[in-house]
């Protein structure tokens, strides 16, 4: 393993589309959504520890989740858990770890990745990630991983790339498109030169900092002004002063869509951002009638293609439901048509307006 290779796992999101299992105080990255016996962040941690030294893996999360991270990842050095005082999307998060690593190791190369992706073929994932490391080790490039679309998903971002390779299995990116409508998504898939954006990025730390300076100069300025406090006892205070000055913006929109040195590596593994209950249904084993069930005492009668997630020992009998999401927790029961899953965030907002924060 290369001592200059690092991984930053981003684990600060709320995961509101996985409500009511995912809650503000215990979001989806810390849950075992598919009933595998391991939470999403634990699975992510295990993938990346095959790539870099254990001490080179960092978790960036919200202040309120630090103790959960310690509990679920007991091997991590506490100093490698970076706490964000506010949720400001992925750009400030990546600027934070980039400036921290730059102060520690000017030769650092890092992967920045979400904590809640689902990857099936781990060996193929490691091969692809290593390919990204190898490419940026020698070239001033910002690299992302793209996934071949299997259907016109309107909840993912899309990457269009050149047809000619810039290096083996590496292509120059032409355009990014965020969450297209169905007709556009169908056109993307038909063209054959679009990939799903997996949100997994690789770059030399010095190059991403230069990209921030060019494309997000105000954000770069506030981090650069405090850079000497990183990796010291003053770091936490500095971050608390920096974050209120940062724009709430993703690194995709703030940097990647503007930069001219962006490349993509097509994935050779099965991937899902596991962002919705329907994506959980797609990736979970199903019974003869297409029902994906987490729970040991579920009886389905004339029920088809449902996503069911209920307490392990609760008896649940379903009759006559087709294409539904059924999620039961200790204080909330959700019954929702799968086709309406993108509206769950709106339902959560309605719950907040009518019931306050108790059920969030």
Rounded CA-CA distance 290/206 in Å is 49
**218 CB-contact burial (10 Å; exposed 0-12 / middle 13-18 / buried 19+):** exposed
The Cβ of residue 247 has, within 10 Å, a number of other Cβ atoms equal to 12
Looking up tokens 């490698």, which residue turns up?
Answer: 80
pLDDT of res. 120: 85
CATH of domain 5-272: 3.90.550.10
The CA–CA distances, whole Å, from 126 to 53, 119, 120, 279, 301 equal 14, 10, 11, 23, 42
Q: How many CA atoms lie within 13 A of 229 on its CB side?
A: 16
What residue spans define the domains of the chain?
5-272, 277-355
Rounded CA-CA distance 283/22 in Å is 18
CA angle 312–318–323, rounded 5-degree value? 100
Looking up tokens 């909840």, which residue turns up?
Answer: 155
Each residue's pLDDT tens digit in the chain (360 positions)?
899 999 999 999 888 888 999 999 999 999 998 888 899 999 999 999 999 999 999 999 999 999 999 999 999 999 999 999 999 999 999 999 999 999 999 999 999 999 998 898 889 999 999 999 999 998 999 999 999 888 888 778 899 999 898 899 999 999 888 888 888 888 888 888 899 999 999 999 999 999 999 999 999 999 999 999 999 999 999 999 999 999 999 999 999 999 999 999 998 788 888 888 988 998 899 999 999 999 999 999 999 999 999 998 899 999 999 999 999 999 999 999 999 888 888 999 999 999 998 999
Cα-based torsion angle of the residue sequence 128, 134, 138, 140 in order, rounded to the nearest 10 degrees: 30
Dihedrals phi, psi of 27, to nearest 5 degrees: -80, 180
pLDDT of res. 313: 87
pTM: 0.92
Give the per-residue SS3 of 245-299.
Answer: HCCCCCHHHHHHCCCCCEEEEECCCCEECCCCHHHHHHHCCECCCCCEEECCCEE
């Amino acid at each position: 393993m290369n001592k200059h290779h690092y991984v930053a796992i981003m684990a600060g999101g709320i995961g509101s589309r996985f409500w009511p299992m995912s809650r503000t105080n215990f979001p989806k990255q810390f849950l075992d959504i598919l009933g595998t016996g391991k939470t999403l962040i634990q699975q992510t941690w295990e993938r990346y520890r095959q790539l870099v030294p254990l001490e080179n893996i960092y978790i960036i999360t919200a202040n309120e989740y630090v103790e959960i991270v310690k509990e679920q990842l007991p091997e991590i050095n506490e100093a490698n858990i970076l706490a964000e005082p506010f949720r400001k999307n992925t750009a400030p998060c990546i600027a934070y770890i980039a400036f921290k690593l730059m102060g520690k190791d000017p030769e650092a190369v890092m992967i920045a990745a979400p904590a809640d992706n689902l990857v099936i073929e781990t060996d193929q994932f490691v091969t692809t990630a290593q390919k990204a490391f190898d490419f940026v080790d020698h070239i001033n490039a910002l690299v992302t991983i793209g996934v071949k679309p299997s259907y016109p998903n309107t909840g993912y971002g899309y990457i269009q790339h050149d047809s000619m390779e810039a290096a083996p299995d590496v292509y120059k990116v032409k355009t990014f498109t965020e969450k297209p409508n169905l007709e556009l998504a169908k056109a993307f898939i038909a063209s054959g030169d679009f990939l799903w954006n997996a949100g997994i990025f690789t770059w030399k730390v010095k190059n991403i900092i230069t990209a921030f300076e060019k494309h997000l100069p105000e954000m770069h300025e506030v981090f650069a002004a405090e850079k000497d406090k990183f990796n010291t006892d003053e770091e936490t205070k500095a971050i608390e002063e920096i974050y209120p000055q940062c724009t709430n913006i993703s690194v995709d929109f703030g940097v990647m869509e503007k930069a001219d040195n962006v490349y993509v590596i097509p994935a050779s593994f099965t991937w899902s951002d596991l962002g919705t209950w329907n994506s959980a249904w797609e990736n979970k084993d199903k019974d003869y009638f297409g029902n994906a069930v987490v729970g040991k005492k579920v009886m389905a009668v004339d029920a088809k293609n449902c996503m069911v997630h209920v307490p392990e020992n609760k008896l649940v009998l379903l009759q006559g439901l087709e294409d539904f999401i059924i999620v039961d927790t200790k204080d909330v029961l959700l019954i929702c048509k799968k086709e309406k899953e993108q509206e769950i965030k709106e339902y959560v907002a309605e719950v907040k307006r009518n019931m306050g924060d108790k059920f969030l």
